[in-house]
Amino acid sequence: MLLTVCVAGAQDLGTRDSSAATPGTDAATPPASHEQPNDAPPSAPANDRIFGILPNYATVERDRTAQQLSSRQEFQLAGLGSFDPYVFPYVGVMVGLGQGGQQSYVRRYATAMADNSIGNFMTSAILPSLLHQDPRYYARERGSVFGRAVYALSRSIITRSSAGRAQFNYSEMAGNFSAAAISNGYYPSSDRSAAGTLTRFASQVLNDALANQMKEFWPDIRAFLARRRAGR
């Protein structure tokens, strides 16, 4: 976990004051907002791209107020995460670094973009809307690096309902499995086996788990980099 190593230095320099947490409260699960959902696009901090590149629209940092999302807002979040301008070159780089096999780069790129988009909409919009689950990541931002890394990893299994209660993350698991099954419609016949479907499912769950690690530790790294710039 490269990010956990990077953030250790940031925490040692006092990025967060853990004593600020109120005794007896769970830092990982602040009270849910009961404000009525509206159709306004969900707000995101300015310049909050991870390392200035990767889109980070669906993260709720500890000091931010989170309103309940409407179905329309959930689809907006999925669209932003799928078609952000930086997604296209990022997917291109990842495809280039992967194994080519017998398929052309263009075919592999199109397949990867389809996998990413379908997975995002299934896990961040369609199933959350149907199951009334919150597709956002709620950063913990306090505690040890190891504890926070475990918390971020656990969000693939545990999520919040729209009302703020802890639930099994059906949207993540069923959403990614559905996306893997749908992909059989455009993958070569040799990859349409049960093993191929399960491999794509596991790969997407792993990718989402790694993304949660970046979302959890990005506020610390961002603050650390800001202090370094201010000290020059």
The string of pLDDT tens digits covering residues 150-182 is 999 999 999 999 999 999 999 999 999 999 999
Sequence length of the chain is 232
For the chain, first and last CA: distance in Å? 29
Q: How many CB atoms lie within 10 A of CB 47?
A: 7
As a whole number of angstroms, the distance between CA 62 and CA 77 comes to 19
Mean pLDDT of 40-44: 46
Q: How far is CA 60 from the centre of its chain?
A: 11
Report which of residues 212 and 38 the model is more confident about. 212
Q: What pLDDT is attached to residue 203?
A: 94
Distance from C-alpha of 10 to C-alpha of 12, rounded to nearest angstrom: 5
Query: Which pair of tokens denotes residue 43?
Result: 């707000």
| C-alpha distance from residue 215 to each of 24, 37, 95, 133 (Å) | 25, 24, 23, 19
The two tokens of residue 173 are 């698991």
Within 10 angstroms of residue 145's Cβ, the number of other Cβ atoms is 20
Say if residues 66 and 32 touch (Cβ distance below 8 Å).
Answer: yes
* pTM given for the model: 0.77
Predicted confidence (pLDDT) per residue in 1-32, tens digit:
434 434 444 444 343 333 333 333 344 444 44
Within the chain, residue ranges assigned H as helices are 2-12, 71-83, 87-97, 105-121, 127-131, 145-154, 170-182, 194-230
Q: Is 158 helix (H, G, I), strand (E, B) or coil?
A: strand
Tens-place pLDDT, residues 196-206: 999 999 999 99
Listed by start position, the domains of the chain span 53-230
